[in-house]
Amino acid sequence: MSEGGADRRGYLEEGFRLFHLKDSRAQRLEFHYHDFHKLILLLGGRVTYAVEGVTYFLRPWDLLLVPRSLIHRPVIDPAEPYERIVVWLDRQWLAERSDPGEPLDTCFRSAGQQGFHLLRTGGEARLVYMQLFQQLEQALRSPEFGAARMADTLCQQLLITVNWDLLRSRTAQEEWDSYRVDPKLEEMLRYIASNLRADLSVDALAGRFYLSRYYLMHRFKAVTGYTVHQYVTQKRLLRAGELIREGAPVMKAAEQAGFREYSTFLRAFQATFHMRPGQFR
């Protein structure tokens, strides 16, 4: 893990990418994030996924939605082969294919706002997803006329189906053995996300949430994989990057993201993104 926080993993230059992966030897992945949305379908194996302080215990045919910039990590049981389909989704691609009032990334926004990212499928819904993923894989491999357009359409259909199911299904959220959450820490993470310009030091947070400094530091690191300082810095950097991309002046973006000193922001930004803010824009 870098000094500024988790590492960014993967680069997406097209509208979306699909990976069908099967590992017989479990690899260890550190906490990381992406600049794109990620949809994960578990096909086999035992894996738990930590997403922003919530741990999900996945079952085969569970769908996990990881919105862009959220920090996450899988923990894989090496006793069984780990098979999954992963779809990376670009924000611009999603925006261009969305209808007015019906953005295709609604499912990711909703998951981020609710702090719950698991969609559990079963029965007929499982068959629908099986068919959609199979058709999408086939279209992406096909050299036939119109295959790329067909794959684009199928990916949109997949997202529409996920949106439908997420809006009307709370099955996994009602199954307490499907996830574990620390209510106090979840409240703290939400506070941090909404108050990046506030004093977010260990002492300030410990006082606000009535925790001992020692307990807060150790519990925070155990659940998120971060120190408090690393986590807050990472969230401020991601917010500043978002503001810069939207056209805000760099110094103004740094200030609005909660950085008190521009030199501190600049060092952290370059260490995390490996470029100057002007290049990031």
pTM for the model stands at: 0.80
Helix, strand, coil: what percent of the chain each, to 5? Answer: 50, 20, 30
Residue 53's nearest CA partner among 266, 219, 210 is 219
> Residue range 247-251: average pLDDT?
91
Higher pLDDT, 8 or 12: 12
pLDDT value for 62: 93
Q: What is the pLDDT of residues 158-177, one digit of tens each?
A: 999 999 988 776 666 667 67
Amino acid code (one letter) for 276: R
Task: Please state, in angstroms and rounded to a whole number, the distance separating the CA atoms of residues 244 and 227.
Answer: 26
Domain 182-280 has CATH 1.10.10.60: yes
Phi, psi dihedrals of residue 67, rounded to the nearest 5°: -65, 155
Q: Is the pLDDT of residue 3 over 70?
A: no
Q: What is the pLDDT of residues 102-142, one digit of tens each?
A: 999 999 999 888 888 999 887 788 899 999 999 999 999 99
Decide: residue 271, CB within 10 A, 0-12 exposed, 13-18 middle, 19+ buried.
middle
What H or E segment, with its residue span, contains residue 179? strand 179-181
Q: Tokens in use for 256?
A: 């609005």
For the chain, give every residue range classified as CATH 1.10.10.60.
182-280
Q: Is the pLDDT of residue 186 over 70?
A: yes
For the chain, give every residue range classified as CATH 2.60.120.280.
7-179
- The CATH classification number of 7-179 equals 2.60.120.280
Q: Is residue 269 helix, strand or coil?
A: helix
pLDDT value for 170: 62
What H or E segment, with its residue span, contains residue 83? strand 82-89
